[in-house]
């Protein structure tokens, strides 16, 4: 595997899930694979889970790890080609990328959507430059439009906790005070759609329609309470306007209606449903304390499975070196 961006990169999902279970049962089984290999993780944005879980996965595989926080000590990087660099950016990504590539065997990149220019974000301009110019296998650690390590961990978590063969999984928009990217819901929808035995329903206010390239055969239900009825899993997430119908609204907050917060009354409509969120989560906006602290909250095991999804991805990449 030379890139990890979309669900298709992993091939057969059932096989990938079996590999995840195998690694979870014996995390150090493939420790020989990473000997004398170096992972470089590059962060343009903050992280807790991705940083720690991916580093842990690399250590389990016997790798060495270098972490670079671009905004904390590196030169400020220009990402656009053709500009006269007389501002505050000292180095261009076009030099920085091959230099970084020369120090490692695999590269993970976190570079969130800027949420200003839809075309720039949805073209995955920064991630694609890493793929093109680093000369090394590259995986997304949340790029402008996708967060596949999260979606894979979510799928593993659903597989572990499902009580019926084909669970009803509801992706619900929830309110937030800041404009957030669409990467998490995009990937979640893409991965749930690709997993054959999941009934995916997406609920959000009008105007928050995700790009159909990610939602596939998912059903859209604008009435959140109706969507929750009989659900086995509730996956909450805020996202800003994807700009599908109205490109001028891209990245905007269109709704602040607190009636979309996930609370116990809504969870009572489900089929004793489990609550999921990728974290970090703002309590009181996305979800009530009561729901996230309840026995049906999976947020901690879900985050723990990030080590497992990262292990499978790094293993696959090491095998293809």
Cβ partners under 8 Å of residue 140, min gap 6: 4, 5, 108, 109, 110, 127, 146, 147, 148, 149
Which residue is closest to ligand CP by CB?
50
| Nearest residue (CB) to ligand AN0, 65 versus 278 | 278
| Nearest residue (CB) to ligand CP, 141 versus 317 | 141
Least distance (Å) between residue 155 CB and ligand CP: 14
Least distance (Å) between residue 226 CB and ligand CP: 28
Closest CA to 37 of 61, 20, 4: 61
| Nearest residue (CB) to ligand CP, 184 versus 231 | 184
Helix (H) or strand (E) holding 120: helix 118-122
> If you write DSSP's letter for every residue of 66-104 in order, what string do you get?
EEEETTTTSPPEE-STT----SS--EEHHHHHHHHHTT-
65, β-bridge pairs: 39
Rounded distance, CA 316 to CA 310, Å?
A: 10
- By a kind-dependent CB cut-off of 5 to 8 A, residue 180 interacts, out of ligand CP, ligand AN0, none, with ligand AN0
- By a kind-dependent CB cut-off of 5 to 8 A, residue 48 interacts, out of ligand CP, ligand AN0, none, with ligand CP
User: Footprint of ligand AN0 on this chain (CB under 6 A)?
Assistant: 142, 180-181, 183-184, 278, 280
| Nearest residue (CB) to ligand AN0, 180 versus 192 | 180
Rounded distance, CA 185 to CA 236, Å?
A: 9
Burial classification of residue 214, based on how many CB atoms lie within 10 Å of its CB (0-12 exposed, 13-18 middle, 19 or more buried): buried
User: Footprint of ligand CP on this chain (CB under 6 A)?
Assistant: 47-50, 142, 150, 278-280
Least distance (Å) between residue 282 CB and ligand AN0: 8
| Nearest residue (CB) to ligand CP, 150 versus 288 | 150
Which residue is closest to ligand AN0 by CB?
180
Least distance (Å) between residue 253 CB and ligand CP: 20
Least distance (Å) between residue 70 CB and ligand AN0: 16
Rounded distance, CA 203 to CA 175, Å?
A: 13
| Nearest residue (CB) to ligand CP, 180 versus 244 | 180
| Nearest residue (CB) to ligand AN0, 212 versus 280 | 280
Least distance (Å) between residue 184 CB and ligand AN0: 5
- By a kind-dependent CB cut-off of 5 to 8 A, residue 183 interacts, out of ligand CP, ligand AN0, none, with ligand AN0
Closest CA to 107 of 67, 71, 62: 67
Closest CA to 275 of 229, 228, 235, 230: 235
Do 30 and 59 meet the contact criterion of CB atoms below 8 Å apart? no
- By a kind-dependent CB cut-off of 5 to 8 A, residue 181 interacts, out of ligand CP, ligand AN0, none, with ligand AN0
Least distance (Å) between residue 152 CB and ligand CP: 12
**Which two tokens mark 69?**
């926080």
């Amino acid at each position: 595997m030379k890139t990890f961006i979309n669900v298709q990169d992993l091939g057969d999902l059932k096989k990938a899930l079996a590999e995840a279970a195998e690694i979870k049962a014996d995390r150090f089984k493939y420790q020989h694979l990473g000997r004398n290999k170096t992972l470089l993780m590059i962060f343009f944005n903050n992280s807790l889970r991705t940083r720690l879980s991916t580093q842990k996965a690399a250590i389990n595989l016997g790798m060495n790890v270098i972490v670079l926080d671009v905004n904390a000590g590196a030169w400020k990087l220009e990402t656009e080609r053709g500009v006269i660099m007389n501002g505050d950016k000292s180095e261009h990504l076009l030099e920085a990328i091959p230099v970084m590539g020369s120090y490692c065997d695999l590269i993970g990149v976190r570079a969130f959507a800027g949420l200003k220019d839809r075309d720039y974000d949805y073209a995955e301009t920064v991630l694609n430059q890493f793929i093109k110019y680093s000369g090394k296998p590259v995986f997304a650690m949340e790029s402008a439009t996708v967060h596949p390590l999260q979606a894979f961990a979510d799928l593993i978590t659903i597989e572990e906790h499902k009580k019926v063969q084909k669970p009803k999984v509801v992706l619900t928009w929830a309110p937030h005070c800041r404009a957030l990217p669409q990467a998490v819901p995009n990937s979640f929808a893409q991965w749930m759609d690709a997993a054959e035995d999941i009934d995916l329903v997406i609920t959000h206010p009008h105007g928050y329609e995700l790009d159909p390239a990610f939602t596939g055969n998912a059903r859209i239900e604008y009435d959140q309470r109706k969507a929750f009825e009989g659900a086995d899993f509730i996956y909450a997430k805020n996202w800003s306007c994807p700009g599908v119908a109205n490109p001028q609204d891209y990245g905007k907050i269109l709704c602040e209606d607190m009636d979309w917060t996930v609370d116990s009354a809504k969870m009572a409509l489900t089929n004793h449903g489990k609550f999921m969120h990728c974290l970090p989560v703002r309590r009181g906006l996305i979800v009530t304390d009561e729901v996230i602290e309840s026995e049906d909250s999976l947020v901690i095991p879900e985050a723990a499975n990030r080590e497992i999804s990262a292990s499978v991805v790094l293993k696959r990449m090491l095998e293809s070196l």
